[in-house]
Amino acid sequence: MKIATSAYPLDFFDSWAAYEDKMGKWVSEAAGNGAELLVFPEYGAMELATLAGTNVAADLEASLFAVSDRMEDANKVLGKLAAEYNVHILGPSGPVAMPDSRPVNRAYFFSPDGKVDHQDKQIMTMFERDPWDVTGGGPLKVFETRLGKFGVLICYDSEFPQFGRALQDIDFLLVPSCTEALAGYWRVRIGAMARALENQCVSIMSSVNGEAPWSEAVETCIGAGGVYGPPDTGFPSDGVIAVGEIGRSGWTYAEIDREAVAHVRNDGVVRNRTHWAEQSGRSDSVTIVDFH
């Protein structure tokens, strides 16, 4: 399987046709290079707010609902492209308004045969909590496809090992991210790599990249696409299968054999996933040693 993961720049759109054209070009390019799985980043959908005008896009509260109002139509575009190019797509996440709570941060997953479902972010960053007031959404999911089993941990979620453990049966972990500084990029990247180590799976990180001066929420972002595995049998010794240049927009590609995941789990030099349960009891209590 060939994977394409993005470092994605946000644009200001003057028309819906401009948005359709952009998405069509990105999907066409990746599919034309043989990719079967395409991964877009967290809050990549914020550019939809520009269709409501500069004032709305610049307003933190109004932009949440401007994006939410257009997500259904955006999903139709991505669903059509997934079918046309016979690819699976994790779409750019964005805020989705809920009937009885604040908006959630939601990423939709599209299959080429018309199936679509979503994964919500679980734990909010400080900015998402205040001032934005975005809230955690629904449960973690496993997406079973012809390419393998996928899970999604959106940005900050990738930094929590219990989420990774809950998805221990997946082959591939998708990590869409949006980070304003290199420290944030590295936090997510380290989280993605740690989850690949613990679960002996492949993690695939995408990023928002560049300037969006029309939005306080995504005004400056930096990152890169990356594909990571456990540094063990059948994978690179540093765990880096492919990584893009930080700060440079575009696709990063990687060839992955799903059997490599099964192989490292069964025959790896270490067996983190298998031995996880041996922590129980040993980690339940800590002995304090007084060296005063």
pLDDT value at residue 285: 83
pLDDT at 37 over 90: yes
| Proportion of the chain above pLDDT 90, given as a percent | 96
pLDDT at 157 over 90: yes
- Cα end-to-end distance, the chain, whole Å: 57
Q: Which CATH class is domain 2-277?
A: alpha beta
**Residue 218: phi, psi to the nearest 5?**
-130, 35
pLDDT at 283 over 90: no
**Domain boundaries defined on the chain:** 2-277
Residue 258 — pLDDT band, cuts 50, 70, 90? confident
Three-class SS of 10-66: CCCCCCHHHHHHHHHHHHHHHHHCCCCEEECCCCHHHHHHHHHCHHHHHCHHHHHHH
Model confidence pLDDT, tens digit, residues 169-181: 999 999 999 999 9
Task: Residue count of the chain, please give it.
Answer: 292
- Averaged pLDDT of the chain: 97
